[in-house]
Amino acid sequence: MNKTSTKSSLESEYLIDEFAPALERGPQWLRERRRVLRQEFNSTPLPRRGLHTWRYTDPNKFLIRHDTVLDTAFDNGYDDVEKVELAHLEQGHLSGLVIDHGGREIKLHGLEELSEKGIVVTTLSEAVSRHKELVERYLYQLVNGKTGKFEAMNGALFNDGIFIHVPNGKTVEKPLHLLHEAGGENSANFHRVLIVVGKNAELTVIDEYGGGASDIDRGVSYTNSAVEIFGFEDSMVRYVLFQRQAASAHLYLTHRARIESGASMLTIPLSFGASLSKQNFGVILNGEGAESKMYGLLFGSGHKHYDNHTLHHHVSSRTTSNIDFKVALRDRAVSAYTGLIRIEKGAKACEAYQENRNLLLNRGVKAETIPELEILNEDVKCSHGATIGPIDPLSVFYLTSRGIPQNEAVQMIVSGFAESTFKQIPKGLKERITDSVAQRLEDI
């Protein structure tokens, strides 16, 4: 066999087959869109290494072979987390709980009160028939084949997803928790979330990703997730991502939000798990007076590899954005952060700030940070900053000289480093985040 045919054969292992079962799910309009996305995935070349947001991560790591199973057993630890969140729901800490097994089986809990208020929380498979106009109008509008090759993969292959609609003037007073579980080794998991928040409405969402493969010798798990959020005039949306997947999981996630005049968006990415994760968070400020804030926290340990990209796209005038993305690394962990602020030519009197701080807890870790500015007019206030460095030894000395053990001193310093993000996390989740950080700081 010649080299050309060998290459073609290897590539064909990763193409989406025209008879893939997911392509036949949903009504006719959805099936047609799925098939377009299949074609876009198959015809789009892999991103070139070394260019822009792919300079630090190999895109081949997110390809899925034909023989990858689409259903597999779930880890027992998932039951424990499910019980904790069901208890939080029963205690009144949550407005509702949605449990998603690999994008295939979705269970809804405690949503009766929201339903009585006209607030919709359901599966996408249910929403495409009961709320056809909303789903058809907004699904794939922000995350699609033009966003990237792997976004096209999700759009074609997701089995089911979660749909949330908060009508005009309605408020979801307590967080709504979405709990996604990935299958074990050699599984492929596709999650999709569509959120539409009406005028002067308010919503807080906790979007949690757990599970996945834990033994690299037995194989990895693949998770590909897409989140689309629409916030209309004077709305308030808080989106908290908690990524704690198992040690041999590969995760690719794209989040895009578009907010209109006077709307506010708070995005809190929290990343602690997976052996390899690439996450893209973006907000389009599409109306005057819109405001977006991001408070990110990443804690890497072992040999984990993280690649995060943030985007604030100022389309309208008098919009404001702020990014505070913090990274703490230990062992041999690697983090790459790229943050883009784009301000359009007609977007006057905008303010944009971006800060990325990286704390290196021992030798052998690696952090990269690339702030990017694309400003097409002069009537703006814009600044960015980045730092990379170890814990200040004088700070450790100060604490240990007052009788505090060194490992506790390091934990205190890291907790202080992350405090601005901790303040933004909903109460019930904050305790689990604090525990996750404490566990990863042991034995330093």
pLDDT bin (cut points 50, 70, 90) of residue 74 is low
Instruction: Quote the pLDDT of residue 72.
Output: 54
pLDDT at 2 over 50: no
Q: How far apart are CA 149 and CA 47, in angstroms?
A: 8
Using one digit for the tens of pLDDT, what is the confidence trace for 384-404?
Answer: 999 999 988 898 888 899 989
pLDDT number for residue 9: 46
The DSSP element (H or E) to which 414 belongs, if any, is helix 406-422
Q: What does the pLDDT read at residue 429? A: 79
> Which pLDDT does position 4 carry in this prediction?
44
Give, in order, the Cα–Cα distances in Å from 225 to each of 126, 230, 288: 19, 17, 30
Q: Dmax of the chain from CA atoms?
A: 71
User: Measured between alpha carbons, how far is 332 from 359 in angstroms, rounded to an integer?
Assistant: 13
Query: Sorting pLDDT into bands at 50, 70 and 90, what band is 38?
Result: very high
pLDDT at 8 over 50: no
Q: With 60 as the cut, is the pLDDT of residue 221 above it? A: yes
Name the pairing type of β-strands 305-314 and 366-375.
unpaired
Segment 2-31 shows an average pLDDT of 76
User: Is 50 exceeded by the pLDDT of residue 3?
Assistant: no
- Pull the structure tokens for residue 332: 């041999």
| Average pLDDT over every residue of 350-361 | 96
**What pLDDT is stored for residue 83 in this prediction?**
85
DSSP label at residue 29: H
Report angle CA 327, 438, 298 to the nearest 5 degrees: 20
The mean per-residue pLDDT over the stretch 416-430 comes to 82
Looking at the predicted structure, is the pLDDT value of residue 90 above 80? yes
pLDDT attached to residue 432: 76
Q: Is the dihedral of CA 372, 378, 381, 387 positive or negative?
A: positive
Grade residue 420 by pLDDT with cuts at 50, 70 and 90. confident
Q: End-to-end distance of the chain based on CA atoms, in angstroms?
A: 53
pLDDT confidence of residue 422: 82
Q: State pTM to two decimals.
A: 0.93
Q: In the predicted model, is pLDDT for residue 158 greater than 60?
A: yes
